[in-house]
Structures are given as structure tokens and as C-alpha cells.
Amino acid sequence: MSNETEATPVLKNFFDRSIEEQQDFLQQTWCNECMEMDLGMKNPQEFEAGDRAWIEGECVKCGTKIITELVYEDDEV
């Protein structure tokens, strides 16, 4: 028996994004191992589950898995 109540992450195509967006996401990172920001990300994969979306990749410096949550700023007036 499987539990179907949780949204299953769906793999999206990160490379469908514009080059500018790809570069922003690949540069604007935070690594918990290095404790440094903007070291960069490699091997990016974009996921979506319900109303959440995020990009997983590896820290360019140490290779640890890092995650960038995608935040949609719809409320700006």
C-alpha cells in the first residue's frame, strides 16, 4: 500500500529557462558545508511538487548537494 497524499516531486527542465535565469540560479547559491554564498552550482535539476518549486545541484567548490527554493514574488505592488 502506498500513501498518495503527498505531492510527488516532478522533474522539470531547468534548461527551458532563459540563459539569464539559468545563470542567476547557478550563481546565487548557499552551501551549508562551505558556509558561503554564491559559490555556484553545477548539475542543476529543477523540481516541482504542489505549489513548491526548487532547484537541486552540487556546490562547485565542495560537491555537496545544495538546494535553491524558488520564490514567486506576486505580491509586489
Q: Return residues touching Zn ion (CB under 5 A).
A: 31, 33-34, 59, 61-62, 64
Nearer to Zn ion, 21 or 33 (CB): 33
Rounded CA-CA distance 13/39 in Å is 22
CB of 75 to Zn ion, least distance (A): 32
CB of 38 to Zn ion, least distance (A): 11
Rounded CA-CA distance 24/31 in Å is 16
| Nearest-CB residue for Zn ion | 59
Nearer to Zn ion, 37 or 62 (CB): 62
